[in-house]
Amino acid sequence: AQSVTQPDIHITVSEGASLELRCNYSYGATPYLFWYVQSPGQGLQLLLKYFSGDTLVQGIKGFEAEFKRSQSSFNLRKPSVHWSDAAEYFCAVGTSGTYKYIFGTGTRLKVLA
């Protein structure tokens, strides 16, 4: 069965520090992978997505993610975190042919001034 694991429930970083959020997936074929961000009281906004090709994808707000097939991972990174990045981040896998998304449990990011 397909699944998405985000091992870190909470992460706290200082403003200006680098960030890496982990995501591991289980899927039988080449996955479609996504990172979404949810600010308090808001819906989900797409940060970036991977379908094929270059395994390092760039997204909005200075985020990037790297697909590593051998590790079944799609970790999200940002070189320098801003206070406005405090939010909840969800990794998701798209299931081919069914238009369904499976979401991880989310990582809540706190940014210290």
- What residues line the site for another protein (CB under 8 A)? 32, 34, 36, 41-46, 49, 51, 90, 94, 96-97, 99-101, 103-106
Give min distance, CB of 29 to another protein, in A.
Answer: 12
User: What is the residue-wise DSSP string for 28-75?
Assistant: SSPPEEEEEEE-TT--EEEEEEE-SS-SEEE-GGG-EEEEEGGGTEEE
- CA separation, residue 49 to residues 33, 54, 69, 110 (Å): 6, 11, 15, 23
Looking at the Cβ atoms of 25 and 90, the one nearer to another protein is 90
Give min distance, CB of 100 to another protein, in A.
Answer: 6
Give min distance, CB of 80 to another protein, in A.
Answer: 26
